[in-house]
Amino acid sequence: MKGTVIYMSIPKEDLHHLVDLLPEKAISAAKKFLEFIVEKSHSDDINWLDAELANWPPYDWGPEGVPKGKPVHFIEDKGLEIKEGQKN
């Protein structure tokens, strides 16, 4: 299967390696930044889960309707691969 791979994440080992390469004085700033990301992600999740979504109107796709997408394949630990050259 050949196509375009969309990377959704990188292995944690890569992040650990990058942290190991940081100068000592940068570790504190990196820690604060990572804590900020975790807190922001958590609060975004809570806000989304608590949101009232049942009363939203249906999306208007316009006169042509829902656009055709491309078929994809999920690759564990990498993300989505777009299957090039295949018909929907």
pLDDT tens-place string over residues 16-47: 999 999 999 999 999 999 999 888 888 878 88
Tokens at 49, concatenated? 């889960």
Q: What is the DSSP string of 28-80?
A: HHHHHHHHHHHHHHHHHHHHHHHS--TTPPPP---TT-SPP---EEEETTTEE
* Total-model pTM: 0.44
**CA separation for the pair 79, 88 (Å, rounded):** 20
**CA separation for the pair 1, 37 (Å, rounded):** 35
Give backbone dihedrals phi and psi of 24, rounded to 5 degrees, phi first.
-50, -40
Residue 5 DSSP symbol:
E
Each domain of the chain, given as residue ranges in start order, spans 3-50+69-83
Per-residue pLDDT for 59 more than 80? yes
